[in-house]
Structure 1
Amino acid sequence: MSRLSGFTNRWLVFLTALVLWQLATAASDNVFFPTPWQIIHHGWSLWFTTADGGFGLSDSIFEDVLPSTARAVGGWAIAAAIGITLGAALGRSRTGMQYVEPLFAFFRALPSPALLPVFIGLIGIGSDMKLSLIAFSCIWPVLMNTVDGVRSVDSVKTDTARSFGTPRTQWVAMVVLPAALPKIFAGLRLSLSIAVILMVVSELVGESSGIGANLVDAKAAFDFLSMWAWIVLIGIIGYVLNLALLAVERRALRWQPTRAAVASAKQTTKAGG
Protein backbone atom coordinates (compact mmCIF):
# COMPACT_ATOMS: atom_id res chain seq x y z
CA MET A 1 0.00 0.00 0.00
CA SER A 2 2.84 2.40 0.87
CA ARG A 3 4.52 1.68 -2.47
CA LEU A 4 1.29 2.49 -4.32
CA SER A 5 0.87 5.65 -2.25
CA GLY A 6 4.42 6.78 -3.06
CA PHE A 7 3.86 6.11 -6.77
CA THR A 8 0.59 8.05 -6.71
CA ASN A 9 2.15 11.00 -4.89
CA ARG A 10 5.03 11.23 -7.36
CA TRP A 11 2.73 11.32 -10.35
CA LEU A 12 0.38 13.73 -8.58
CA VAL A 13 3.27 16.18 -8.15
CA PHE A 14 4.22 15.73 -11.81
CA LEU A 15 0.66 16.30 -13.05
CA THR A 16 0.31 19.35 -10.80
CA ALA A 17 3.49 20.84 -12.25
CA LEU A 18 2.22 20.07 -15.76
CA VAL A 19 -1.10 21.82 -15.10
CA LEU A 20 0.68 24.86 -13.66
CA TRP A 21 2.96 24.95 -16.71
CA GLN A 22 -0.09 24.78 -19.00
CA LEU A 23 -1.87 27.59 -17.16
CA ALA A 24 1.20 29.85 -16.98
CA THR A 25 2.15 29.51 -20.65
CA ALA A 26 -1.46 29.82 -21.84
CA ALA A 27 -1.85 33.04 -19.86
CA SER A 28 1.44 34.57 -21.04
CA ASP A 29 0.81 33.95 -24.76
CA ASN A 30 4.59 34.08 -25.32
CA VAL A 31 5.60 32.45 -28.62
CA PHE A 32 8.91 31.34 -27.10
CA PHE A 33 7.10 29.35 -24.39
CA PRO A 34 4.39 27.17 -25.97
CA THR A 35 1.98 25.25 -23.77
CA PRO A 36 2.65 21.59 -22.89
CA TRP A 37 -0.40 20.59 -24.91
CA GLN A 38 1.00 22.32 -28.01
CA ILE A 39 4.37 20.63 -27.46
CA ILE A 40 2.77 17.18 -27.09
CA HIS A 41 0.62 17.70 -30.18
CA HIS A 42 3.61 18.87 -32.23
CA GLY A 43 5.80 16.04 -30.95
CA TRP A 44 3.13 13.56 -31.98
CA SER A 45 3.16 14.95 -35.51
CA LEU A 46 6.97 14.78 -35.59
CA TRP A 47 7.42 11.20 -34.42
CA PHE A 48 4.13 9.32 -34.69
CA THR A 49 2.68 10.56 -37.97
CA THR A 50 3.70 8.93 -41.24
CA ALA A 51 4.33 10.73 -44.52
CA ASP A 52 0.76 10.08 -45.68
CA GLY A 53 -0.68 11.53 -42.47
CA GLY A 54 -1.54 8.23 -40.81
CA PHE A 55 -0.52 6.88 -37.43
CA GLY A 56 2.89 5.20 -37.21
CA LEU A 57 6.53 5.79 -36.50
CA SER A 58 7.86 8.63 -38.64
CA ASP A 59 11.17 8.67 -40.51
CA SER A 60 12.59 10.90 -37.76
CA ILE A 61 12.34 8.05 -35.26
CA PHE A 62 14.61 5.86 -37.40
CA GLU A 63 16.90 8.62 -38.70
CA ASP A 64 17.29 10.77 -35.58
CA VAL A 65 15.90 9.36 -32.33
CA LEU A 66 17.01 5.73 -32.43
CA PRO A 67 20.56 6.41 -33.75
CA SER A 68 21.14 9.11 -31.11
CA THR A 69 19.83 6.90 -28.31
CA ALA A 70 21.90 3.96 -29.53
CA ARG A 71 25.05 6.10 -29.49
CA ALA A 72 24.30 7.26 -25.94
CA VAL A 73 23.75 3.71 -24.70
CA GLY A 74 26.71 2.38 -26.70
CA GLY A 75 29.14 4.98 -25.39
CA TRP A 76 27.87 4.45 -21.86
CA ALA A 77 28.26 0.66 -22.18
CA ILE A 78 31.85 1.05 -23.42
CA ALA A 79 32.62 3.35 -20.49
CA ALA A 80 30.99 0.91 -18.06
CA ALA A 81 33.02 -2.05 -19.32
CA ILE A 82 36.33 -0.17 -19.24
CA GLY A 83 35.58 1.67 -15.99
CA ILE A 84 34.57 -1.43 -14.04
CA THR A 85 37.49 -3.52 -15.33
CA LEU A 86 40.12 -0.84 -14.76
CA GLY A 87 38.55 0.26 -11.48
CA ALA A 88 38.59 -3.28 -10.10
CA ALA A 89 42.27 -3.67 -11.03
CA LEU A 90 43.28 -0.32 -9.53
CA GLY A 91 41.14 -0.87 -6.44
CA ARG A 92 42.93 -4.12 -5.62
CA SER A 93 46.38 -2.66 -6.32
CA ARG A 94 48.26 -1.16 -3.38
CA THR A 95 50.21 1.37 -5.45
CA GLY A 96 48.51 1.59 -8.85
CA MET A 97 46.13 4.40 -7.93
CA GLN A 98 48.96 6.49 -6.50
CA TYR A 99 50.60 6.70 -9.92
CA VAL A 100 47.51 7.46 -12.00
CA GLU A 101 45.43 9.56 -9.59
CA PRO A 102 46.94 12.94 -10.66
CA LEU A 103 46.30 12.07 -14.31
CA PHE A 104 42.74 10.99 -13.56
CA ALA A 105 42.11 14.15 -11.55
CA PHE A 106 43.26 16.25 -14.52
CA PHE A 107 41.00 14.49 -17.04
CA ARG A 108 38.01 14.48 -14.67
CA ALA A 109 38.31 18.25 -14.27
CA LEU A 110 38.01 18.88 -18.02
CA PRO A 111 34.49 19.94 -19.09
CA SER A 112 33.41 17.35 -21.63
CA PRO A 113 31.58 19.76 -24.01
CA ALA A 114 34.81 21.76 -24.33
CA LEU A 115 36.53 18.63 -25.64
CA LEU A 116 34.23 18.38 -28.67
CA PRO A 117 36.65 20.29 -30.98
CA VAL A 118 39.50 18.08 -29.76
CA PHE A 119 37.66 14.87 -30.61
CA ILE A 120 36.58 16.29 -33.98
CA GLY A 121 40.22 17.12 -34.76
CA LEU A 122 41.43 13.67 -33.67
CA ILE A 123 38.70 11.45 -35.10
CA GLY A 124 36.63 13.59 -37.44
CA ILE A 125 32.88 14.12 -37.54
CA GLY A 126 30.91 10.89 -37.39
CA SER A 127 29.60 8.16 -35.12
CA ASP A 128 33.09 7.16 -33.95
CA MET A 129 33.70 10.67 -32.64
CA LYS A 130 30.36 10.74 -30.81
CA LEU A 131 30.89 7.32 -29.25
CA SER A 132 34.42 8.24 -28.18
CA LEU A 133 33.35 11.53 -26.59
CA ILE A 134 30.45 9.90 -24.74
CA ALA A 135 32.62 7.01 -23.53
CA PHE A 136 35.43 9.32 -22.40
CA SER A 137 33.00 11.53 -20.48
CA CYS A 138 31.14 8.64 -18.85
CA ILE A 139 34.12 6.57 -17.74
CA TRP A 140 35.20 8.68 -14.76
CA PRO A 141 32.20 8.23 -12.43
CA VAL A 142 32.20 4.48 -13.12
CA LEU A 143 35.96 4.13 -12.69
CA MET A 144 36.25 6.12 -9.46
CA ASN A 145 33.17 4.56 -7.87
CA THR A 146 34.43 1.10 -8.74
CA VAL A 147 37.81 1.85 -7.15
CA ASP A 148 36.07 3.15 -4.03
CA GLY A 149 33.70 0.18 -3.90
CA VAL A 150 36.44 -2.41 -4.35
CA ARG A 151 38.58 -0.79 -1.65
CA SER A 152 35.70 -0.78 0.82
CA VAL A 153 35.08 -4.55 0.61
CA ASP A 154 34.74 -6.07 4.07
CA SER A 155 38.10 -7.45 5.23
CA VAL A 156 36.35 -10.51 6.70
CA LYS A 157 35.17 -11.53 3.23
CA THR A 158 38.66 -11.00 1.85
CA ASP A 159 40.32 -13.04 4.60
CA THR A 160 37.76 -15.84 4.28
CA ALA A 161 38.29 -16.11 0.52
CA ARG A 162 42.06 -16.21 0.99
CA SER A 163 41.86 -18.85 3.72
CA PHE A 164 39.99 -21.15 1.34
CA GLY A 165 42.61 -20.57 -1.34
CA THR A 166 40.13 -19.03 -3.77
CA PRO A 167 41.78 -18.21 -7.13
CA ARG A 168 42.28 -14.48 -7.61
CA THR A 169 40.05 -14.20 -10.70
CA GLN A 170 37.22 -16.10 -9.02
CA TRP A 171 37.72 -14.12 -5.82
CA VAL A 172 37.35 -10.79 -7.65
CA ALA A 173 34.34 -11.99 -9.67
CA MET A 174 32.51 -13.74 -6.82
CA VAL A 175 33.48 -11.66 -3.77
CA VAL A 176 34.94 -8.25 -4.62
CA LEU A 177 32.67 -7.06 -7.44
CA PRO A 178 29.37 -8.19 -5.85
CA ALA A 179 30.31 -6.40 -2.62
CA ALA A 180 31.22 -3.26 -4.59
CA LEU A 181 28.03 -3.29 -6.69
CA PRO A 182 26.14 -0.55 -4.76
CA LYS A 183 28.87 2.01 -5.43
CA ILE A 184 29.37 0.75 -8.99
CA PHE A 185 25.67 1.28 -9.73
CA ALA A 186 25.88 4.78 -8.25
CA GLY A 187 28.60 5.55 -10.78
CA LEU A 188 26.61 3.94 -13.58
CA ARG A 189 23.56 6.09 -12.85
CA LEU A 190 25.61 9.28 -12.85
CA SER A 191 27.40 8.32 -16.05
CA LEU A 192 24.09 7.51 -17.77
CA SER A 193 22.94 11.10 -17.23
CA ILE A 194 26.25 12.31 -18.66
CA ALA A 195 25.74 10.04 -21.69
CA VAL A 196 22.39 11.66 -22.50
CA ILE A 197 23.91 15.14 -22.19
CA LEU A 198 26.88 14.27 -24.41
CA MET A 199 24.54 12.56 -26.88
CA VAL A 200 23.12 16.00 -27.59
CA VAL A 201 26.39 17.95 -27.35
CA SER A 202 28.20 15.64 -29.78
CA GLU A 203 25.55 16.33 -32.44
CA LEU A 204 25.57 20.12 -32.21
CA VAL A 205 28.38 20.65 -34.74
CA GLY A 206 28.59 19.50 -38.34
CA GLU A 207 25.62 17.13 -38.24
CA SER A 208 22.41 17.02 -40.26
CA SER A 209 20.70 14.24 -38.31
CA GLY A 210 20.26 13.27 -34.70
CA ILE A 211 18.48 14.84 -31.76
CA GLY A 212 21.12 17.52 -31.17
CA ALA A 213 21.22 18.51 -34.84
CA ASN A 214 17.43 18.85 -34.99
CA LEU A 215 17.45 20.90 -31.81
CA VAL A 216 19.97 23.35 -33.30
CA ASP A 217 18.08 23.52 -36.62
CA ALA A 218 14.80 24.26 -34.84
CA LYS A 219 16.41 27.04 -32.80
CA ALA A 220 18.04 28.58 -35.89
CA ALA A 221 14.71 28.54 -37.74
CA PHE A 222 12.87 30.06 -34.73
CA ASP A 223 10.70 26.94 -34.71
CA PHE A 224 10.13 27.02 -30.97
CA LEU A 225 7.51 24.28 -30.98
CA SER A 226 9.97 21.82 -32.51
CA MET A 227 12.74 23.04 -30.23
CA TRP A 228 10.68 22.38 -27.11
CA ALA A 229 9.47 19.05 -28.47
CA TRP A 230 13.07 17.87 -28.87
CA ILE A 231 13.96 19.17 -25.39
CA VAL A 232 11.06 17.25 -23.84
CA LEU A 233 12.03 14.13 -25.79
CA ILE A 234 15.57 14.32 -24.38
CA GLY A 235 14.11 14.39 -20.87
CA ILE A 236 11.86 11.41 -21.63
CA ILE A 237 14.78 9.40 -23.03
CA GLY A 238 16.86 10.13 -19.93
CA TYR A 239 13.97 9.19 -17.65
CA VAL A 240 13.26 5.90 -19.42
CA LEU A 241 16.93 4.90 -19.48
CA ASN A 242 17.23 5.69 -15.78
CA LEU A 243 14.14 3.60 -15.00
CA ALA A 244 15.62 0.66 -16.91
CA LEU A 245 18.92 0.93 -15.02
CA LEU A 246 17.12 1.20 -11.67
CA ALA A 247 15.19 -1.98 -12.48
CA VAL A 248 18.45 -3.79 -13.22
CA GLU A 249 20.00 -2.39 -10.04
CA ARG A 250 17.11 -3.54 -7.85
CA ARG A 251 17.32 -7.01 -9.29
CA ALA A 252 21.11 -7.19 -8.97
CA LEU A 253 21.14 -5.97 -5.35
CA ARG A 254 18.22 -8.00 -3.99
CA TRP A 255 20.67 -10.26 -2.15
CA GLN A 256 22.01 -7.42 -0.01
CA PRO A 257 21.19 -7.74 3.71
CA THR A 258 19.92 -4.17 4.04
CA ARG A 259 17.54 -4.56 1.11
CA ALA A 260 16.44 -7.97 2.34
CA ALA A 261 15.73 -6.48 5.78
CA VAL A 262 13.66 -3.68 4.28
CA ALA A 263 11.70 -6.15 2.14
CA SER A 264 11.12 -8.39 5.18
CA ALA A 265 9.93 -5.44 7.25
CA LYS A 266 7.46 -4.46 4.54
CA GLN A 267 6.11 -8.01 4.35
CA THR A 268 5.73 -8.08 8.15
CA THR A 269 3.88 -4.76 8.11
CA LYS A 270 1.50 -6.01 5.42
CA ALA A 271 0.86 -9.23 7.32
CA GLY A 272 0.24 -7.33 10.55
CA GLY A 273 -2.14 -4.95 8.81
Structure 2
Amino acid sequence: MKTLKSVGYLLGLPVILLLWWWIGTSGEANFFVPTPAKLVTTFIDTWFGERMLTDVLPSIMRLVVGVLAAIVLGIVLGLAVGLNRTMRAVTEPVFEFFRALPPPVLVPVLMLLVGINDGMKIAVIISGCVWPVLLNTIEGVRSIDPVQNETSKSYGITGFSRIRYQILPSATPTIMAGVRQALSIGLILMVISEMFASSSGLGFTIVQFQRSFAVPEMWSGIVVLGLIGVALSFIFQWVERRVLRWYHGLKEVENAV
Protein backbone atom coordinates (compact mmCIF):
# COMPACT_ATOMS: atom_id res chain seq x y z
CA MET A 1 0.00 0.00 0.00
CA LYS A 2 2.80 2.37 0.90
CA THR A 3 4.60 1.56 -2.38
CA LEU A 4 1.48 2.28 -4.43
CA LYS A 5 1.05 5.57 -2.62
CA SER A 6 4.67 6.55 -3.38
CA VAL A 7 4.21 5.63 -7.06
CA GLY A 8 1.02 7.69 -7.14
CA TYR A 9 2.84 10.73 -5.75
CA LEU A 10 5.68 10.21 -8.24
CA LEU A 11 3.53 9.83 -11.36
CA GLY A 12 0.43 11.83 -10.42
CA LEU A 13 1.51 15.30 -11.56
CA PRO A 14 3.29 14.11 -14.77
CA VAL A 15 0.14 12.19 -15.79
CA ILE A 16 -2.04 15.25 -15.15
CA LEU A 17 0.31 17.45 -17.20
CA LEU A 18 0.34 14.93 -20.08
CA LEU A 19 -3.46 14.77 -20.09
CA TRP A 20 -3.65 18.58 -20.09
CA TRP A 21 -1.16 18.70 -22.97
CA TRP A 22 -3.07 16.02 -24.93
CA ILE A 23 -6.42 17.81 -24.44
CA GLY A 24 -4.89 21.20 -25.33
CA THR A 25 -3.45 19.93 -28.62
CA SER A 26 -6.27 17.58 -29.63
CA GLY A 27 -8.22 20.26 -31.48
CA GLU A 28 -6.80 22.58 -34.11
CA ALA A 29 -3.18 21.85 -35.06
CA ASN A 30 -0.60 24.22 -33.59
CA PHE A 31 2.70 24.69 -35.45
CA PHE A 32 4.58 25.66 -32.30
CA VAL A 33 3.28 22.92 -29.95
CA PRO A 34 3.28 19.34 -31.30
CA THR A 35 0.88 16.69 -30.04
CA PRO A 36 2.21 14.06 -27.59
CA ALA A 37 2.04 11.36 -30.28
CA LYS A 38 3.94 13.53 -32.76
CA LEU A 39 6.58 14.37 -30.17
CA VAL A 40 7.09 10.72 -29.21
CA THR A 41 7.53 9.74 -32.88
CA THR A 42 9.93 12.62 -33.49
CA PHE A 43 11.86 11.83 -30.30
CA ILE A 44 12.47 8.24 -31.38
CA ASP A 45 13.35 9.15 -34.97
CA THR A 46 15.69 11.98 -33.92
CA TRP A 47 17.62 10.64 -30.96
CA PHE A 48 17.62 6.84 -31.28
CA GLY A 49 20.33 6.74 -33.89
CA GLU A 50 23.44 8.61 -34.94
CA ARG A 51 22.68 11.68 -32.82
CA MET A 52 22.84 9.58 -29.66
CA LEU A 53 26.53 8.98 -30.39
CA THR A 54 27.44 12.36 -31.89
CA ASP A 55 25.44 14.71 -29.63
CA VAL A 56 23.91 13.14 -26.52
CA LEU A 57 26.75 10.97 -25.22
CA PRO A 58 29.51 13.60 -25.76
CA SER A 59 27.36 16.20 -23.97
CA ILE A 60 26.77 13.86 -21.03
CA MET A 61 30.48 13.05 -20.89
CA ARG A 62 31.42 16.74 -20.75
CA LEU A 63 28.78 17.33 -18.09
CA VAL A 64 30.00 14.45 -15.91
CA VAL A 65 33.68 15.43 -16.21
CA GLY A 66 32.96 19.10 -15.51
CA VAL A 67 30.72 18.47 -12.50
CA LEU A 68 33.05 15.87 -10.94
CA ALA A 69 36.04 18.18 -11.39
CA ALA A 70 34.10 21.05 -9.81
CA ILE A 71 33.07 18.85 -6.85
CA VAL A 72 36.64 17.72 -6.17
CA LEU A 73 38.05 21.23 -6.59
CA GLY A 74 35.31 22.79 -4.47
CA ILE A 75 35.74 20.33 -1.59
CA VAL A 76 39.55 20.56 -1.55
CA LEU A 77 39.59 24.38 -1.66
CA GLY A 78 36.67 24.58 0.76
CA LEU A 79 38.47 22.44 3.34
CA ALA A 80 41.68 24.47 2.96
CA VAL A 81 39.88 27.79 3.32
CA GLY A 82 37.39 26.69 5.97
CA LEU A 83 40.12 25.38 8.28
CA ASN A 84 42.22 28.55 8.11
CA ARG A 85 40.76 31.84 9.38
CA THR A 86 43.47 33.94 7.76
CA MET A 87 42.99 32.30 4.36
CA ARG A 88 39.24 32.68 4.71
CA ALA A 89 39.56 36.41 5.42
CA VAL A 90 41.94 36.89 2.47
CA THR A 91 39.98 34.88 -0.09
CA GLU A 92 36.42 35.91 0.82
CA PRO A 93 36.40 39.17 -1.25
CA VAL A 94 37.91 37.34 -4.25
CA PHE A 95 35.42 34.50 -3.99
CA GLU A 96 32.51 36.90 -3.77
CA PHE A 97 33.74 38.75 -6.86
CA PHE A 98 34.09 35.66 -9.04
CA ARG A 99 30.92 34.08 -7.67
CA ALA A 100 28.98 37.14 -8.81
CA LEU A 101 30.18 36.74 -12.41
CA PRO A 102 27.64 34.87 -14.57
CA PRO A 103 29.53 31.89 -16.06
CA PRO A 104 28.19 32.52 -19.62
CA VAL A 105 30.10 35.81 -19.80
CA LEU A 106 33.31 33.84 -19.31
CA VAL A 107 32.74 31.81 -22.47
CA PRO A 108 34.52 34.30 -24.83
CA VAL A 109 37.43 34.56 -22.38
CA LEU A 110 37.74 30.78 -22.07
CA MET A 111 37.54 30.44 -25.85
CA LEU A 112 40.63 32.66 -26.10
CA LEU A 113 42.52 31.01 -23.23
CA VAL A 114 41.60 27.36 -23.74
CA GLY A 115 40.52 27.26 -27.37
CA ILE A 116 37.39 26.07 -29.13
CA ASN A 117 37.32 22.48 -27.95
CA ASP A 118 35.88 20.18 -25.31
CA GLY A 119 38.26 21.67 -22.75
CA MET A 120 36.53 25.05 -23.11
CA LYS A 121 33.10 23.52 -22.55
CA ILE A 122 34.29 21.60 -19.50
CA ALA A 123 35.95 24.76 -18.15
CA VAL A 124 32.65 26.66 -18.48
CA ILE A 125 30.87 23.94 -16.49
CA ILE A 126 33.56 23.96 -13.80
CA SER A 127 33.50 27.77 -13.55
CA GLY A 128 29.83 27.72 -12.57
CA CYS A 129 29.55 24.46 -10.61
CA VAL A 130 32.53 24.98 -8.32
CA TRP A 131 30.99 27.85 -6.34
CA PRO A 132 28.06 26.16 -4.60
CA VAL A 133 30.32 23.24 -3.62
CA LEU A 134 33.15 25.52 -2.49
CA LEU A 135 31.02 27.91 -0.45
CA ASN A 136 28.92 25.14 1.11
CA THR A 137 32.10 23.28 2.08
CA ILE A 138 33.50 26.39 3.74
CA GLU A 139 30.22 26.94 5.59
CA GLY A 140 30.05 23.27 6.60
CA VAL A 141 33.56 23.38 8.05
CA ARG A 142 32.87 26.64 9.88
CA SER A 143 29.66 25.33 11.45
CA ILE A 144 31.22 22.22 13.02
CA ASP A 145 30.38 21.88 16.70
CA PRO A 146 33.26 23.34 18.77
CA VAL A 147 32.81 20.50 21.26
CA GLN A 148 33.72 18.04 18.49
CA ASN A 149 36.87 20.03 17.76
CA GLU A 150 37.94 20.02 21.39
CA THR A 151 37.17 16.30 21.70
CA SER A 152 39.29 15.52 18.63
CA LYS A 153 42.19 17.53 20.04
CA SER A 154 41.94 15.87 23.44
CA TYR A 155 42.13 12.43 21.80
CA GLY A 156 45.08 13.48 19.65
CA ILE A 157 43.21 13.22 16.35
CA THR A 158 45.00 15.65 14.05
CA GLY A 159 45.99 16.16 10.44
CA PHE A 160 44.39 14.04 7.74
CA SER A 161 42.78 11.73 10.31
CA ARG A 162 40.83 14.65 11.76
CA ILE A 163 39.71 15.72 8.31
CA ARG A 164 38.63 12.19 7.39
CA TYR A 165 36.91 11.13 10.60
CA GLN A 166 35.57 14.41 12.04
CA ILE A 167 35.47 17.33 9.62
CA LEU A 168 34.27 15.65 6.43
CA PRO A 169 31.45 13.64 8.07
CA SER A 170 30.23 16.73 9.93
CA ALA A 171 30.35 18.95 6.84
CA THR A 172 29.00 16.38 4.37
CA PRO A 173 25.27 17.33 4.71
CA THR A 174 26.10 20.92 3.77
CA ILE A 175 28.47 19.80 1.01
CA MET A 176 25.78 17.57 -0.52
CA ALA A 177 23.42 20.55 -0.67
CA GLY A 178 26.05 22.36 -2.73
CA VAL A 179 26.51 19.33 -4.99
CA ARG A 180 22.77 19.26 -5.70
CA GLN A 181 22.90 22.90 -6.80
CA ALA A 182 25.97 22.18 -8.92
CA LEU A 183 24.17 19.45 -10.87
CA SER A 184 21.41 21.79 -12.08
CA ILE A 185 23.90 24.57 -12.84
CA GLY A 186 26.09 22.11 -14.75
CA LEU A 187 23.23 21.02 -17.01
CA ILE A 188 22.45 24.65 -17.87
CA LEU A 189 26.09 25.49 -18.58
CA MET A 190 26.52 22.35 -20.68
CA VAL A 191 23.84 23.65 -23.04
CA ILE A 192 25.14 27.23 -23.04
CA SER A 193 28.74 26.18 -23.72
CA GLU A 194 27.62 24.13 -26.73
CA MET A 195 25.79 27.10 -28.23
CA PHE A 196 29.09 28.93 -28.78
CA ALA A 197 31.44 27.93 -31.61
CA SER A 198 30.38 24.30 -31.55
CA SER A 199 29.43 21.80 -34.22
CA SER A 200 27.93 19.09 -32.01
CA GLY A 201 26.22 18.55 -28.69
CA LEU A 202 22.69 18.98 -27.39
CA GLY A 203 22.90 22.76 -27.11
CA PHE A 204 24.17 23.14 -30.68
CA THR A 205 21.59 20.72 -32.10
CA ILE A 206 18.62 22.30 -30.33
CA VAL A 207 19.63 25.75 -31.60
CA GLN A 208 19.99 24.37 -35.13
CA PHE A 209 16.48 22.89 -34.92
CA GLN A 210 15.13 26.24 -33.71
CA ARG A 211 16.84 28.18 -36.51
CA SER A 212 15.51 25.80 -39.16
CA PHE A 213 11.96 25.89 -37.67
CA ALA A 214 12.07 22.15 -36.94
CA VAL A 215 9.74 22.65 -33.98
CA PRO A 216 8.98 18.99 -33.05
CA GLU A 217 12.71 18.18 -33.20
CA MET A 218 13.47 21.21 -31.01
CA TRP A 219 10.93 20.08 -28.41
CA SER A 220 12.35 16.56 -28.52
CA GLY A 221 15.79 17.98 -27.66
CA ILE A 222 14.28 19.81 -24.69
CA VAL A 223 12.75 16.50 -23.57
CA VAL A 224 16.20 14.90 -23.73
CA LEU A 225 17.58 17.61 -21.45
CA GLY A 226 14.69 17.07 -19.04
CA LEU A 227 15.31 13.33 -18.96
CA ILE A 228 19.00 13.91 -18.26
CA GLY A 229 18.04 16.23 -15.40
CA VAL A 230 15.66 13.63 -13.94
CA ALA A 231 18.32 10.92 -14.23
CA LEU A 232 20.86 13.14 -12.45
CA SER A 233 18.35 13.82 -9.68
CA PHE A 234 17.69 10.11 -9.09
CA ILE A 235 21.40 9.28 -9.15
CA PHE A 236 22.10 12.07 -6.65
CA GLN A 237 19.33 10.87 -4.33
CA TRP A 238 20.69 7.32 -4.49
CA VAL A 239 24.22 8.48 -3.65
CA GLU A 240 23.02 10.87 -0.95
CA ARG A 241 21.01 8.16 0.83
CA ARG A 242 24.14 6.04 1.09
CA VAL A 243 26.61 8.77 1.93
CA LEU A 244 24.30 10.36 4.52
CA ARG A 245 22.70 7.19 5.85
CA TRP A 246 23.80 8.07 9.39
CA TYR A 247 22.46 11.62 9.03
CA HIS A 248 19.00 10.60 7.85
CA GLY A 249 18.86 7.95 10.57
CA LEU A 250 19.68 10.58 13.17
CA LYS A 251 16.95 12.87 11.81
CA GLU A 252 14.40 10.06 11.97
CA VAL A 253 15.29 9.41 15.60
CA GLU A 254 15.02 13.12 16.44
CA ASN A 255 11.62 13.38 14.71
CA ALA A 256 10.38 10.27 16.53
CA VAL A 257 11.34 11.80 19.85
TM over 0.5: yes
Partner of 1:167: 158
Distance 1:132 1:25 in 2: 41
State whether structure 2 residue 125 is matched by structure 1 residue 125: no
Q: Could you tell me which runs of 5 or more consecutive residues in structure 2 were left unpaired when the two chains were aligned.
A: none
Q: What displacement does 1:3 show?
A: 5.6
Partner Cα separation in structure 1 for residue 30 and residue 40 of structure 2: 17
What TM-score results when the alignment is normalised by the length of structure 2? 0.94
- 2:93 — aligned with what? 102
Q: What is the one-letter code of the residue matched to 1:250?
A: R
Cα offset, 1:167, TM superposition: 2.5
Partner amino acid, structure 2, of 1:153: I
Partner Cα separation in structure 2 for residue 260 and residue 15 of structure 1: 35
Q: How many residues align?
A: 256
Structure 1 unaligned runs (5+)? 49-57, 267-273
Task: Give the Cα–Cα distance (whole angstroms) in 2 for the partners of residues 37 and 259 of structure 1.
Answer: 44
Higher relative CO (CA 8 A, sep ≥ 6), structure 1 or 2?
2
Which has the higher mean CA deviation after the structures are superposed, 154-163 or 244-253?
A: 154-163
SS in 2 for 1:29: coil
Once the two structures are TM-superposed, the CA of residue 264 in structure 1 deviates from its matched residue by: 9.8
CA separation of 1:29/1:99 partners in 2, compared to 1, >3 Å: closer, same or farther? same
**Which residue of 80, 93, 100 corresponds with 2:71?**
80
AA at the equivalent of 1:174: Y
Pick the aligned partner of 1:212 from 203, 209, 217: 203
2: distance between equivalents of 1:105 and 1:61? 39
What amino acid maps onto 1:213 in structure 2?
F
- Aligned partners of 2:95, 2:6: CA distance in 1, in Å? 40
Deviations 1:169-215 (A, max 9, x none): 11011110111111100000000101100111001022121101101
Work out the percentage of aligned pairs sharing the same amino acid.
40
Distance 1:200 1:261, change over 3 A: closer
Equivalent residue, structure 2, for 1:9: 9
**CA-to-partner distance for each residue in 1:14-69, whole Å, 9 max, x for gaps?**
11111101211333521111123221211111222xxxxxxxxx121111101101
Rounded to whole Å, the distance in 2 between the matches of 1:117 and 1:143 is 24
RMSD over aligned Cα, in angstroms? 1.7
Amino acid at match of 2:108: P
In structure 1, distance between residues paired with 2:192 and 2:77:
26
**Residues 100 and 265 of structure 1: CA distance in aligned 2, closer, same or farther (over 3 Å):** closer
